[in-house]
Amino acid sequence: MRIKSLLAVTALALTLSTPAASADTPTPYLPAPTGNRPVGSTAVYLKDTSRPDPWVPSVPYRELMVSLFYPAVSAPGPKTQYLTSAESAALLKDSGLNVAPDLLTTMVTHSVAGARPAGHGLPLIVLSPGYTKPRATLSALAEDLASHGYAVAVVGHTYENAGQSFPDGHFAGCASCDVPHDSAFWQKLELGRAADVSFVLNSLTRSKWAPLIDSSRIGMAGHSIGGASTIPAMVADPRIKAGMDIDGTTEVELTPPGLSRPFMFVSHQRVETVCAPGNVPWERDWAQLTGWKRWVEVKGTQHASFTDVGLVADEFGIDIGATTTAMRTQEITRTYVNAFFDQHLRGKARPVLDQPGYPEVSFCH
């Protein structure tokens, strides 16, 4: 359940099954949000002086970039840039794509940069991306949640992605990529992300953005290691009322007394038989989830299908091994993420959480 980066996905696919994309590859785009509210977004810089950086201990603080999405007063205005030039180049480096390194700076998004927020006291969803993935790769999901009335904070975990730009112009590469990726590494990653999320919640709820957020209605979801980090984040921080793991192998074991708050697993199709047994980490943690819980598998999907990585791969004509298109998978992902948080943060019953709303979706538990 770990695809390390878009680089790995594209390079493998190009090697096995597709010709290299050419310089006339069309500008990649995100599907439009499905809600009825215009979306705004802004980049928020945060600095935690209470702890050194876990990957570069010589840095005596932990600095993070957060993309904050929210319902906006109006739709007109310049759209948010998907990645900076340095971030785009880092993500595309050695991918095998014959495209300009700044191609992803032109990615068409739907949120208006710096738009005036609409409303206050909104439920907040924290999103954590997969390992080596920039926070931008969850933009399609974040924009959609915001269009349905959520505030959404997508966390850029410094030194854990291909590269991240900061407002003062400095750029942080993937320092953690040089560390042996054993079980202890993944546990450190999950626990570190849990600490990052708690710091983000502290910061946002004490900042100028506090009126936008209802601190009693906070949820978290993530993809890959970001999803796996959701359980330890919830164990450490009771403010997170509901959580979702989208295709992330859990390394930090959930131990008694377990977790009584709502939780949902979403998996790609692991083997030919849907919902086949054998996902040992999830089965282990499932037994310790004592509250509302669901486990679904999406037929015809691969690990990258749930994020913008899958969308870009499809647009480039790159085969990642999925038989369900990334656009269809994004529709399914948006439906279930919105429904899960609607039910558990807004108190609105969503039948799709009890019976498959799509033929590709199977309830494994």
What pLDDT is stored for residue 49 in this prediction?
Answer: 97
pTM: 0.93
Domain assignment of residue 280, yes or no: yes
Span 6-56, pLDDT tens digits: 444 444 333 333 334 444 567 899 999 999 999 999 999 999 999 999 999
In a domain, 18, yes or no: yes
Strand partners, 29: 108
Q: Map residue 146 onto helix, strand or coil.
A: helix
Confidence of residue 5 (pLDDT cuts 50, 70, 90): very low
Query: Are 30 and 311 contacting, i.e. CB atoms less than 8 angstroms apart?
Result: yes
Is residue 1 domain-resident? no
Full domain range(s) for residue 237: 6-363
**51: domain CATH number?**
3.40.50.1820
Arithmetic mean of pLDDT, 343-360 = 94
pLDDT in tens, 192-218: 999 999 999 999 999 999 999 999 999
100: in domain: yes
Among residues 330, 287, 18, 340, the alpha carbon closest in space to that of 143 is found at 330
For the chain, how many residues are written? 365
Helices 139-147 and 326-345 meet at what angle, rounded to 10? 50
Residues 6+ apart with CB under 8 A from 117: 40, 70, 71, 72, 73, 212
Q: For residue 10, which of 114, 95, 137 has the smallest C-alpha distance?
A: 95
pLDDT digits (tens, 9 = 90+) for 87-121: 999 998 856 667 789 999 999 899 999 999 998 99
- pLDDT tens-place string over residues 161-173: 999 999 999 999 9
> Cα separation of 354 and 365, whole Å?
10
Q: Is-contact 311 140, C-beta < 8 A?
A: yes
State how far the Cα of 101 lies from the Cα of 162, in Å rounded to an integer: 13
Rounded to whole angstroms, the Cα distance separating 35 from 38 reads: 8
Q: Does residue 195 lie in a domain region?
A: yes
CA dihedral 123, 227, 321, 272 (to 10 degrees): -110
Interval 247-296: pLDDT, tens: 999 999 999 999 999 999 999 999 888 888 989 999 999 999 999 999 99
Cα 115 from Cα 74, distance rounded (Å): 8
**Residue 91 resides in a domain:** yes
DSSP one-letter code for 151 = E
How many domains is the chain built from?
A: 1
Q: Is residue 250, in this structure, part of any structural domain at all?
A: yes
Would you say residue 73 lies in a domain? yes
What's the mean pLDDT in 292-316? 95
**Structure tokens that stand for 196 in this block:** 């990052």
